[in-house]
């Protein structure tokens, strides 16, 4: 199974400041089409998971451009350029290269 390791596991950020979350996989997530099978989600209290980034660096329609994904192979980063109070939640990376699909442990984002 592919192991996904996130860091840090918790983050406290001042509004307006940037935040970055790292996600490392135990093997490359590059698929046969040349894309990275890595998605980022946020889980906010009382809600279902919300997709922020797909295939490593693509933002779905409607996701603010303050969210960006970077990286390739086995090393990925989610960056929030300016954190706002509404960004509070738990952020997860997910690999969909092979089953069992596996999530990172989650990174809890708090506002200072």
Partner 1 sequence: EAQLVESGGGLVQPGDSLRLSCAASGFAFRSYWMTWVRRAPGKGLEWVADIKDDGREKYYVDSVKGRFTISRDNAKNSLYLQMNSLRAEDTAVYYCALLLAGYWGPGTLVTVSS
Binding site for partner 1 (CB under 8 A): 39, 41, 43, 48-51, 54, 60, 90, 92, 94, 96, 99-106
Min CB(70)–partner 1 separation in Å? 19
Please identify, using beta-carbon distances, which residue of 13 and 95 lies nearer to partner 1. Answer: 95
Please identify, using beta-carbon distances, which residue of 93 and 112 lies nearer to partner 1. Answer: 93
Beta strand spans in the chain (E): 4-7, 10-13, 19-25, 38-43, 50-53, 67-72, 75-80, 89-95, 102-103, 107-111
Please identify, using beta-carbon distances, which residue of 33 and 85 lies nearer to partner 1. Answer: 33
Min CB(14)–partner 1 separation in Å? 26
- C-alpha distances (whole Å) from 44 to each of 2, 31, 47, 48, 87 are 25, 30, 5, 7, 8
Only one residue has tokens 């983050």, namely 11
Please identify, using beta-carbon distances, which residue of 11 and 103 lies nearer to partner 1. Answer: 103
Min CB(110)–partner 1 separation in Å? 17
Question: Can you read off the two tokens belonging to residue 30?
Answer: 């590059």
Min CB(82)–partner 1 separation in Å? 23
């Amino acid at each position: 199974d592919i192991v996904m390791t996130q860091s840090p596991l918790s983050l406290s950020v001042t509004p307006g400041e940037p935040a970055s979350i790292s996600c490392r996989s135990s093997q490359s997530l590059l698929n046969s089409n040349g894309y990275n099978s890595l998605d980022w989600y946020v889980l906010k209290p009382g809600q279902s998971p919300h997709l922020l980034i797909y295939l490593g660096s693509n933002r779905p329609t409607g996701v603010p451009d303050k969210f960006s994904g970077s990286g390739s192979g086995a090393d990925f980063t989610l960056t929030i350029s300016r954190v706002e109070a509404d960004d509070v939640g738990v952020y997860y990376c997910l690999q969909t290269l092979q089953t069992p699909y596996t999530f990172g442990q989650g990174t809890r984002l708090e506002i200072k």
